[in-house]
Amino acid sequence: MPALPLLAWGLTKRENDGREPPVDMRPRLRCAAPKDSSLMVSLDLAAPAAPAKPAFELSEKPSLIGLSREELGRALVEKGVAERQVKMRVSQIWHWLYIRGISDFNDMTNVAKDLRALLKEHFTIQRPEIAEEQISNDGTRKWLLRFPARGAGRPVEVETVYIPEEGRGTLCISSQVGCTLTCSFCHTGTQRLVRNLTAEEILSQLLLARDRLGDFPDRETPQGAILPSSERKITNIVMMGMGEPLYNFEEVKKALLIATDGDGLSLSKRRVTLSTSGVVPEIYRTGDEIGVMLAISLHAVRDELRDMLVPINKKYPLKDLIEACRNYPGLSNARRITFEYVMLKDVNDSLEDAKGLIQLLKGVPAKINLIPFNPWPGTKYECSDWDRIERFSEIVFRAGYASPVRTPRGRDILAACGQLKSESERMRKTERMAFEAMMIAGHGEDDDD
């Protein structure tokens, strides 16, 4: 399958309309860039796609988005909807929220006016505020979304990234603001956890992206937009934004079950990939309770090294991790686990490491994504040299794994490892940061690749 180099962005500073400043976590998303990533040199991320929307009040009312059908039913009963009507009302509301994608109760045209008024009085279905929207000229879109404070906290901002390709559109979603884990090569790992995102906030990233792409029935797609040829503009989701999704298991589960609900947003579970650093007990639960595709941030094949790079390894060492992967339900040649492996110069990139990788994954239906390290200010790591990445990938390839960095796109990836010369020097810092990170994806089942 074609590989998708994943991008990370630094954020530009924004004006903040005088309110209490949101927590600026400077999220670093690693999201896939389009197939022709030679276009990456012409990213124009500094230019907002749309004039900044006027600030609006984020509703303090509880949202109906992200509730399971049962929770939605209970919420309606609590506000006085008759028990005998609940089932019907739930399916009406579900249809409006997740098939039609509305965000205003007035649009629920087959719901009686008095019920609409009741809903409006007690609940919200508002989208988050778009603090910033950027569109690169290769069609990649990035939204900085602002969510209201929860409890005593401050508003928070998270990034969501959309990457169109020929026959698919992938949305990269965040699960937390910050991360409690401290993977030593990861910028997010240097930031404390601010809070978990709620199911509503996780799902809102998808709903908002579909709004902006005109990806609901009867909506216009934006003029001149680069979009996939598929009927649906978002065909795949990767939980690869900020945070460790399995440390926010319940909310992630709720959101993904709604995203894959056949009577609603209807994404195929085979096109949803959750990436984890290796929270072993929750890997079992992910298989049993969510059933989406899995990606593992492996990055080392020896415990001693992985303890340093991905410290959760001290709790769940490689043996337990690989065992959990081996037992992941539904694996086959067409449904493989993705193993992410960041290429760190002189740290984990020896040819012995490559052989160790093959050895470790024996018997596990696996894809391997070699990720050129994306440097960030203050990091002690460097990206492996290009010829080392090639040799590493050659070993992986010969062992029968598609090895994405072998494609000509590697040149662009090389650029992303901080070696992009003339083009990057002409770019402003914030734009250059768009090249900071690259990783190779290839998510979802094989037959859509």
Catalytic residues: 159, 417
CA distance 30 to 436: 9
Q: Which does 344 bind (CB under 5 to 8 A by kind): ligand SF4, ligand SAH, none?
A: none
> Considering beta carbons, is residue 64 or 290 the nearer one to ligand SAH?
290
Q: Per CB under 6 A, which region of 54-62, 158-166, 325-333, 371-379 contacts ligand SAH?
A: 371-379
> Considering beta carbons, is residue 67 or 239 the nearer one to ligand SAH?
239
Residue 143: phi and psi, rounded to 5, are: -115, 135
For position 412 contacting ligand SAH by CB under 6 A, the verdict is no
For position 189 contacting ligand SF4 by CB under 6 A, the verdict is yes
Residue 158: phi and psi, rounded to 5, are: -135, 160
For position 337 contacting ligand SF4 by CB under 6 A, the verdict is no
> CA 409 → CA 38, 39, 200, 391, 406, distances in Å?
7, 11, 36, 16, 8
Per CB under 6 A, the list member of 140, 235, 248, 276 interacting with ligand SAH is 276
Smallest distance from ligand SF4 to CB 243, Å? 6
CA nearest neighbour of 3 among 438, 325, 359: 438
For position 275 contacting ligand SAH by CB under 6 A, the verdict is yes
> Considering beta carbons, is residue 71 or 303 the nearer one to ligand SAH?
303
For position 439 contacting ligand SAH by CB under 6 A, the verdict is yes
CA distance 279 to 243: 13
Collapsing DSSP to helix, strand or coil, 178 comes out as coil
> CA 233 → CA 144, 213, 221, distances in Å?
19, 7, 9
Per CB under 6 A, the list member of 134, 170, 260, 277 interacting with ligand SF4 is 277
Per CB under 6 A, the list member of 240, 324, 337, 396 interacting with ligand SAH is 240
Residue pair 240/275 in contact (Cβ under 8 Å)? The answer is yes
Listed in order, strand segments (DSSP E) in 298-448 are 337-343, 366-372, 440-441
User: For residue 16, how many other CB atoms are within 10 A of its CB?
Assistant: 14
For position 342 contacting ligand SAH by CB under 6 A, the verdict is yes
The arrangement of strands across the sheet holding 440-441 comes to 31-32, 4-7, 440-441
> Considering beta carbons, is residue 136 or 191 the nearer one to ligand SAH?
191
Q: Could you tell me how far CA 325 lies from the centroid of its own chain?
A: 21
Per CB under 6 A, the list member of 277, 286, 338, 348 interacting with ligand SAH is 277
> Considering beta carbons, is residue 63 or 191 the nearer one to ligand SF4?
191
Residue pair 62/125 in contact (Cβ under 8 Å)? The answer is no
Residue pair 341/370 in contact (Cβ under 8 Å)? The answer is yes
Which of the 8 DSSP states describes residue 409? Answer: T
Q: Interface mask (CB under 6 A) for ligand SF4, residues 146-185, using x and -?
A: ---------------------------------x-xxx--
Interface size with ligand SF4, residues (CB under 6 A) = 11
Per CB under 6 A, the list member of 140, 273, 297, 313 interacting with ligand SF4 is 297
Per CB under 6 A, the list member of 37, 188, 313, 338 interacting with ligand SF4 is 188
Which of the 8 DSSP states describes residue 109? Answer: T
Smallest distance from ligand SAH to CB 36, Å? 21
- Write down the number of H helices and E strands in the chain: 13, 14
Q: Interface mask (CB under 6 A) for ligand SF4, residues 427-446, using x and -?
A: --------------------
Torsion of CA 48, 29, 389, 36, to 10 degrees: -40
Per CB under 6 A, the list member of 102, 186, 415, 416 interacting with ligand SF4 is 186
For position 241 contacting ligand SF4 by CB under 6 A, the verdict is no
Q: Across-strand partners of 372? A: 343
Smallest distance from ligand SAH to CB 173, Å? 10
For position 286 contacting ligand SF4 by CB under 6 A, the verdict is no
> Considering beta carbons, is residue 28 or 212 the nearer one to ligand SF4?
28
Residue pair 397/403 in contact (Cβ under 8 Å)? The answer is yes
- Binding residues (CB under 6 A) for ligand SAH: these are 30, 183, 185-187, 240, 243-244, 275-277, 297, 340, 342, 371, 373-374, 437, 439
- Binding residues (CB under 6 A) for ligand SF4: these are 179, 181-183, 186, 188-189, 243-244, 277, 297
